[in-house]
Amino acid sequence: MTFARSSLFIACTLAAGLGLSACSNSNKDDKKPDNLTASAPATGEASTLSERNAQQRLISTLEGHFKKAGIKAKITDIKTTEVPNLYWVSLEGMSSIYATSDGKYIIQGDVIRLGDKQLHNVSETLQSEVNKKLFTSLKKENLLIYPAKGKAKHVIYVFTDVSCPYCHKFHEQMDEMNAKGIEVRYIAWPRGEQHMPAMEAIWCNEDRRAAFDQAIAGGSITPANCQNPVKDQYQMGLNIGVNGTPGVYSSEGLYLGGYMSTSDLLDRLK
């Protein structure tokens, strides 16, 4: 497998605090300008014929620009945002982007609204809707699940890699999280091609949880090959903008952050 992404990447993210709470993607390819990564916001569906026509014109304009630039990107959806003349554009097989209404500019990253005591990330709503659909579509047998003790009060999805020190710290509090009613569903997200074999070996193990526990604690893993979802899960993470591990999401698709204590996690879930 190669981790090269499409020819669309602009290496710019709002990842404040990432170095303090998550392990970054160590792929050398990630440093190349080869994939768009963006979150997306929005206010809703087009409600008038004129708005729908404007969106269709924008799609045609963008497709023309993409073709001229040799960019193979299929537009699957487009929505207005709360920012005047700025649209959210969903692309097949890659992260969403923003586009100006004239189709001349595309933008990646988060859009932050100022004016309140707290900064408001207007990207969260639509992206979380996309994330929720993706998480719901995942088969449980393709995940690594640590169920809550008793009735589950919360379910979280966590992109993880056994080579990441912050994933180690997060996993050390698994018993505490489970005791607090949090079910943890791990998604494989190796941070570089060199880490792919280890994650595939875990996902191919008959006792996946035991293999993961051993590997995350620094133990060796017996190499194993089988048909597994690791590559697909890695690509899904790229598509929704994951750029480090652990990447923690609620069952509603909201990004909660990187490593955090159990008490901080509960606060964010509330």
Catalytic residue numbers read: 161, 164, 167, 191
> If we measure between CA atoms, which residue out of 166, 169, 176, 167 comes closest to residue 144?
167
What separation in angstroms does the CA of 130 have from each of 54, 174, 237?
23, 27, 12
Residue labelled with tokens 């929005």: 42
Tokens of 161: 């890699």
Residues 6 or more apart whose CB falls under 8 angstroms from that of 30 comprise: 3, 5, 9, 11, 243
DSSP lists the bridge partners of residue 247 as 159
Q: Radius of gyration over alpha carbons of the chain, in Å? A: 19
Cβ pair 185, 155 in contact under 8 A: yes
Residue labelled with tokens 């001349």: 104
Tokens of 195: 């880490």
User: What backbone phi and psi angles, to 5 degrees, belong to 86?
Assistant: -125, 130
Quickly count: other Cβ atoms within 10 Å of residue 75's Cβ. 17
Question: Helix (H, G, I), strand (E, B), or coil: what is residue 157?
Answer: strand
Cβ pair 130, 120 in contact under 8 A: no
How would you classify residue 54: left for phi > 0, otherwise alpha for psi between -120 and 50, otherwise beta?
Answer: alpha
